[in-house]
Structure formats: C-alpha cells, structure tokens
C-alpha cells in the first residue's frame, strides 16, 4: 500500500467526507477553455504539455518538460504524482489538461507499476449488474456505473477478475455464447471485452500486473478443458499457452513466487513456469475440506497469496489454513470471522489485498441485512489470525463476484 503520501497536492477528500458516493467526481469534465464549478481556467501552455504526455510511453522523461513548474522539473513532478493516492487523481486530473492526460491515458499507472507503487481496492457485486469498489485504507465506498448487458447475461452465473486497470466480468449471453464485459478505471465505463481464443467458464484465474492467466474450465458443450490462456490488459489480447497436464474445472488460480498455480478441479494442482513455458503437477496441493460433499455443489477452492505465501479458507470448518511450500502440506492457523457465512463456499469472498487477507461475508439467504469486510495482515511466524472489521454494507444478498485491482 502507499505510505508517506506527498502533500504537494491537496487531497480530494476531507476526513469528514461521506462514506459512500458515486464516481461522477472521479472523472472531471473536458472543457477546452475552463473547468466547471468555478475552478480556474486552463493555462495556455497546457496544449504543449498535453502533446508531450501523449508520448510518455515512447520517450524518456526530461527535466525541462515540467508538469508543475519549470523549477521542479518533469521527473520530480511525476515522482510526486505517482506517490499520491489513487483517490487523489480526480483532483489532480482537474488541475489542467496535462495532469488529466497523464491520469486518463493510464501512463501514471504504468509508471506506478514500474516503481512498485501499488494500491489495492476491492471490487464486488451483490446485485445482478451493480458493482461497488472499496478502498481499504481510506475505507471509502464508490459505486461503479451499472453494467449494460442482455437479459441472459444478467441472470446467469458470472466470473470476474481485475487485471491492470481493467475489471473483466465473464459469462454467457444468448443462451450459450460466452461474452466478456470490461470495466476500465481510466474511463469509468463498461464496454464489450475481447473474447478468449477458447471461450469457457468455471476456470481458474489470477492476475500479475498487466497480465492474467485463465486455466481450465468448461466449454459451451460442457467438455472439461485443459486449455490455458494469457490476457494482456494493455494490449487487450489473448495468447494461448501450453496445455495443462490434466483437464480441470471448478478450480482456482494464484500467482506465487512469479509462477502461476491452478489449484483443484481434479485434486492437487499444477504450476506454470512463465519463463520455461511448462506445467508441472503438484499432488495434494488442494486444501483439505472439513466436510465432504459433491464437488459440483461446492465452490472452487477459496485460496489467496500474501507475501508469496498461500492461504485457504475452509468454509465448512470456518478455519484458515496455510500451505507449507517445503513439506507441501496444509496446516490450520485459526478461525475465519464469525460473519463469514456461505452456501457451500458460494457467497464468501476470500482475497489477497496487498499485504492483507480480506474476507467478505454476509447473509446465507436473502434478507440478511448486511455484509462485512474483515481484514488480517499475516505474520511470518504463522500466528492465528486476528480479524479487523473494516466496514459493513447493507445488502439483502451475499457476494456474487469479487476481484481486487492493484494499480
């Protein structure tokens, strides 16, 4: 998470701000000569800076191309900007066209990633086409625009993943046609996304920076797949990877130690080495279950990686487990939060959020009242979890989909 944030620019939100809001203020108007709401007119020399910003990705930054003033210089200006909170960027983007171009082009997020400055926000849905975002540091809620989709997509099961500055929601439309909807943080809007080369559902997936890997699943005919694909959010392209050793569905995915792991589906797991482009089976990697039930009735393994350590939530036993990479065994750490209800694992979100593990749980049935977001920062010694309640939100439904965006 971002620490020691610069105070060079004022924060967009005060400590007395409301706990929930829409995203309208996050994307300033695009007037050419002035800003609304009585804010100052844009400087005449902004056009030159705006042209320069369009080439940020292709040229080295120079001191004589400043964003704040000629004394500070461009490099120092950007060094300050990338250390501001993501919540500050709407205010920054409203200052002039140069700032706005830097933020909305995505260049500032690429620079943050290069400098290993990342904030993690939680995105989840408790309604059919409604998504909210939660900043666990500021503890602030934000509403995303409503998704626009067909009736079939709205009512069918969906899967989600955040990668780069995109949130992907995958499902079926028109009966059996697999579709992808893409929310862009840069534009605060939904649009049709690029389909997989081999469209499917019930896959395992995880993201690392601007890339994500989707492995296994079922095609439209119900055939279990051994196909894996890599998605690049900056290029919006899918690349087919070598096939897994076994077909898998109802599996989960994580990145750990720079490698991708697919867990469950048919027991055990597999490791994909991105450099060697090779899959290796890892027996008994699937977390144990406290209560045996048909695999078709149970959610995929609830797993997450923090500081390159693998954790799992046992929804039946209400415990947290940790995977020992040396012995390749799981051991129990302690309890899940009390309000981590689910239906066979469905409706319970267990995610890594930077240095934290996040558990989002709520009612086991409709009309439950609210959901809770609990957080725990694991320690290297394997101490039992001590959960902190971050916030709670009124909801008559449990969590349908959840993803964490780090940028």
Q: Comparing 80-89, 181-190, 323-332, 346-355, which segment has the lowest mean pLDDT? A: 80-89
Question: Angle 179-182-188 (CA atoms, 0-180°, nearest 5)?
Answer: 150
Q: Is the pLDDT of residue 126 over 50?
A: yes
What span, in angstroms and rounded, lies between the C-alpha atoms of 246 and 224?
10
Q: What percent of the chain has pLDDT over 70?
A: 77
Which comes out higher in pLDDT, residue 363 or 147? 147
Quote the pLDDT of residue 293. 64
Tens digits of residue pLDDT in 246-268: 999 999 999 999 999 999 988 78
Which comes out higher in pLDDT, residue 87 or 15? 87
Q: What is the mean pLDDT of residues 273-301?
A: 84
Which comes out higher in pLDDT, residue 76 or 170? 170
Tens digits of residue pLDDT in 333-389: 999 998 776 777 778 899 999 999 999 987 555 455 788 999 999 987 778 999 999
Q: Comparing 25-29, 202-206, 397-401, which segment has the lowest mean pLDDT? A: 25-29
Tens digits of residue pLDDT in 183-207: 999 989 999 999 999 999 999 999 9
* Mean pLDDT, rounded, of the chain: 80
What span, in angstroms and rounded, lies between the C-alpha atoms of 400 and 397?
8
| In contact, 391 and 358? CB cutoff 8 Å | no
Tens digits of residue pLDDT in 207-234: 999 999 999 999 888 899 999 999 999 9
Q: Which residue has the tokens 């209560």?
A: 291
Confidence grade of residue 49 (pLDDT, cut at 50, 70, 90): very low
Q: What is the mean pLDDT of residues 18-40?
A: 40
Quote the pLDDT of residue 98. 80
Q: Is the pLDDT of residue 9 over 60?
A: no
Quote the pLDDT of residue 288. 87
Q: Is the pLDDT of residue 55 over 80?
A: no
Sequence spans of domains, the chain: 20-114, 120-406
Quote the pLDDT of residue 177. 84
Phi, psi of 179 (to 5 degrees): -135, 160
| In contact, 108 and 34? CB cutoff 8 Å | no
Q: Is the pLDDT of residue 127 over 70?
A: yes
Q: What percent of the chain has pLDDT over 90?
A: 49
Q: Comparing 165-169, 223-227, 287-291, which segment has the lowest mean pLDDT? A: 287-291
Confidence grade of residue 21 (pLDDT, cut at 50, 70, 90): very low
**From 2.120.10.80, 3.40.190.10, 3.90.850.10, 3.40.50.300, which CATH number describes the 120-406 domain?**
2.120.10.80
211-215 β-sheet, strand order: 204-208, 211-215, 228-232, 237-241
CA-nearest of 220, 206, 221, 224 to 160 is 206
Q: Is the pLDDT of residue 58 over 50?
A: no
Quote the pLDDT of residue 262. 97
The model's pTM is 0.82
Q: What is the mean pLDDT of residues 21-35?
A: 42
């Amino acid at each position: 998470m971002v620490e020691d944030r610069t105070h060079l620019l004022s924060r967009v939100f005060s400590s007395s701000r409301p706990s929930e809001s829409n995203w309208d203020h996050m994307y300033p108007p695009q007037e050419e000569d002035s800003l609304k709401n009585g804010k100052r007119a844009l400087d005449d020399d902004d056009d030159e800076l705006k042209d320069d910003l369009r080439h940020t990705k292709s040229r080295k930054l120079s001191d004589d191309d400043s964003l704040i003033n000629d004394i500070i210089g461009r490099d120092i200006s950007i060094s300050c900007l990338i250390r501001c909170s993501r919540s500050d960027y709407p205010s920054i983007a409203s200052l002039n066209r140069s700032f706005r171009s830097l933020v909305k082009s995505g260049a500032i997020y690429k620079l943050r990633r290069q400098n290993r400055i990342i904030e993690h926000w939680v995105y989840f849905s408790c309604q059919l086409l409604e998504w909210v975002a939660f900043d666990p540091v500021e503890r602030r809620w934000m509403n995303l625009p409503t998704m626009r989709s067909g009736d079939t997509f709205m009512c069918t099961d969906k899967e989600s993943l955040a990668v780069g500055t995109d949130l992907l929601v995958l499902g079926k439309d028109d009966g059996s046609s697999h579709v992808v909807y893409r929310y862009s943080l840069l534009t605060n809007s939904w649009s049709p996304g690029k389909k997989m080369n081999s469209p499917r559902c019930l896959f395992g997936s995880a993201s690392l920076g601007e890339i994500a890997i989707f492995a296994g699943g079922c095609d439209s005919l119900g055939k279990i797949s051994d196909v894996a694909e890599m998605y690049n959010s900056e290029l919006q392209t899918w690349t087919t990877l070598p096939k897994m050793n076994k077909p898998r569905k109802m599996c989960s995915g994580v990145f750990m130690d720079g490698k991708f792991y697919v867990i469950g589906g048919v027991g055990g797991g597999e490791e994909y080495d991105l450099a060697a482009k090779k899959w290796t089976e890892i027996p008994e990697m699937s977390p144990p279950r406290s209560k045996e039930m048909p695999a078709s009735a149970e959610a995929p393994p609830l797993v997450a990686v923090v500081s390159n350590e693998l954790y799992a939530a046992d929804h039946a036993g209400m415990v947290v487990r940790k995977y020992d990479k040396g012995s390749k065994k799981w051991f129990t750490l302690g309890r899940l939060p009390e309000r981590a209800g689910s239906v066979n694992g469905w409706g319970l979100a267990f995610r890594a959020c930077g240095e934290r593990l996040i558990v989002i749980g709520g009612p086991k049935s409709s009309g439950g009242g609210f959901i809770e977001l609990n957080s725990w920062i694991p320690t290297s010694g394997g101490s039992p979890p001590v959960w902190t309640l971050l916030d709670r939100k009124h909801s008559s439904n449990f969590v349908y989909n959840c993803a964490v965006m780090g940028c």
